[in-house]
Amino acid sequence: MTAEQVYDYVAEWSAVNDSEFNALLTRDPAFSKAYLAIGRGGKKPRKDLALWSDAKGYMDFMFDELFQPDYTMPERVSAEDAKAILADFAGMFDENDTPDGFFDKMKQIASAHGYAADTKAYKVAIIKQLDHASLDEIANAVTAELDQISADKNVKIEYEVTSGQGDQTILKQLSDQAIADGVDAIIPIATTAAQIAALSAEETKTPVVYAAVSDPETAKLTGIDYVTGTSDALNTDFIMDMMFAQNPSVAKVGLLYSLSEPNSAKPIADAKAYLDTKGIEYVEQTANTNDEVVAAASALIAAGVDAVFTPTDNVIMAAELAIYEDLAKNGIPHYTGADSFVRNGAYATCGVNYTDLGAQTADLAYTAMTEGMYGMEDYYLMDGGIITVNTDTCALIGKQADYACFDSMGEVVEVTTTKD
């Protein structure tokens, strides 16, 4: 709802129910609308008025006739300290300060007079959907950035990293426990973890700042005023372009993914559309456990596919180390949705850097805890564009794995296989 609409409704209500407030509200419509416009108009408009009658209390300090100053001093602050603090504040106040600049000055004043510069320790629950390289990389980046923020801002941030082990029941228990513990934010990593955390926080409105949700809209994580996060949405067409640039003779493509992974739905649909347009045959294999992934990879090899595509699918990622050698030894390059796949043996990808994604997620969580969620976007799309190639896997595939063509498509980073 726009500020103009809110103004009209409040003016209509107050004309009937509170003539004094109506006179003040309508005395300067532009002023009242400007105040009501603060925090509105973005993807996450503020939701501060449950009833039109709330408007008076919400706006009373903007009108001299309604404002009731409270001169009660905190018990721990003497009259002498209060005068000195106010004098310092008057000397340092600058209406052009950013929020960070303003609070830095407040901290300086507090420290100068012997008071704690920070009065709150923030508690964060970091919940991985399961344990594997991509999500571990993100979690490590989140904690490293929170530690850096803590040092830079001189604040205390306590966090705990847990894993749902791919089990929705465990994920719900972890999210519910985080709410019960009174955390200031939950950082769920991956789509299912984010969906469950959002559900757990529905009553308390605890900020949920997710990491690595490929399709927030399909996951129904948009339009929720206490939820935001980072998206690693995949440019599937570009990865398909890489596949056919590297081998224009590809005639049959394997699509390997999990039906239980919301992240996979859109990129798999995009891949099918791309291949249909080119008239290329594709074979689908789905799996939900490590053993099923191994069996699915074997089925694709038996089907004679020329290449395999997997999006940012956590189930397949968890089993990549178990399948990459068989695919490579059969001359089949595995194109995937994340560089962590490639470090675990897949052939190549073009996607986001998960260390950068984790750091940005931590920054968003700190903003949500300290400044609130007003004005934050539904989600923040991470930039991709880095092509990652595994040279160990290239050696296993042989000379047909030459990737010189990628040089003209973007920045190429070479990695080797790591067993973690």
Provide the pLDDT for residue 186. Answer: 98
- The CA distance from 395 to 416, in Å, is 10
Helix ranges, 303-371 (H): 314-318, 320-329, 339-343, 354-371
**46 against 278, higher pLDDT:** 278
Quick one: tokens of 51? 């009833």
Q: Which of 105-109, 405-409, 413-417 has the lowest mean pLDDT?
A: 105-109
Average pLDDT over residues 368-381: 92
Measuring CA to CA, which residue among 157, 212, 196 is closest to residue 368? 157
Q: What are phi and psi of 392, to 5 degrees?
A: -65, -45
Q: What is the DSSP letter of 211?
A: B
Q: Which of 106-120, 330-344, 378-392 has the lowest mean pLDDT?
A: 106-120
Quick one: tokens of 412? 């190429």
Q: How far from chain centre, in Å, is Cα 42?
A: 18
Q: What is the DSSP letter of 123?
A: E
Q: How confident is the model at residue 249 (pLDDT cuts 50, 70, 90)?
A: very high
Residue 362 has pLDDT above 90, yes or no: yes
Matching residue, tokens 């003539």: 19
- The CA distance from 122 to 207, in Å, is 12
Those residues whose C-beta lies under 8 Å from the C-beta of residue 154, and which sit 6 or more positions away, are 107, 117, 118
Those residues whose C-beta lies under 8 Å from the C-beta of residue 261, and which sit 6 or more positions away, are 191, 313, 314, 315
Measuring CA to CA, which residue among 84, 183, 81 is closest to residue 125? 183
Measuring CA to CA, which residue among 1, 361, 308 is closest to residue 146? 361
Average pLDDT over residues 273-293: 97
Burial, 392: exposed, middle or buried (Cβ in 10 Å; 0-12, 13-18, 19+)? middle
- The CA distance from 331 to 235, in Å, is 25
Helix ranges, 18-132 (H): 19-27, 29-36, 54-59, 79-92, 99-112
* Same CATH fold assignment for domains 123-232+355-381 and 236-351+385-415: yes
185: β partners: 124
- The CA distance from 385 to 226, in Å, is 30
- Quote the CATH superfamily of domain 123-232+355-381: Response regulator (3.40.50.2300)
Residue 120 has pLDDT above 90, yes or no: no
Q: From residue 356, how far is each of 152, 360, 387 by CA, in Å?
A: 18, 6, 15
Architecture of domain 236-351+385-415: 3-Layer(aba) Sandwich (3.40)
- The CA distance from 257 to 280, in Å, is 19
Crossing angle of helices 191-200 and 262-278, rounded to 10°? 140
Average pLDDT over residues 353-368: 94
Percent of the chain predicted with pLDDT > 90: 66
Quick one: tokens of 212? 């690595």
Provide the pLDDT for residue 29. Answer: 93
Measuring CA to CA, which residue among 280, 322, 282, 317 is closest to residue 298? 322
**41 against 193, higher pLDDT:** 193
Those residues whose C-beta lies under 8 Å from the C-beta of residue 12, and which sit 6 or more positions away, are none
Per-domain boundaries in the chain: 3-62, 123-232+355-381, 236-351+385-415
Q: How confident is the model at residue 117 (pLDDT cuts 50, 70, 90)?
A: low
User: pTM here?
Assistant: 0.62
Provide the pLDDT for residue 121. Answer: 83
In tens, the pLDDT along 302-317 reads: 999 999 999 989 899 9
Provide the pLDDT for residue 78. Answer: 81
Write down the mean pLDDT value for the chain.
Answer: 91
**Whats the size of the chain, residue-wise?**
420
- The CA distance from 51 to 53, in Å, is 5
Residue 184 has pLDDT above 80, yes or no: yes
Q: What angle do CA 49, 224, 5 make, to 5 degrees?
A: 35
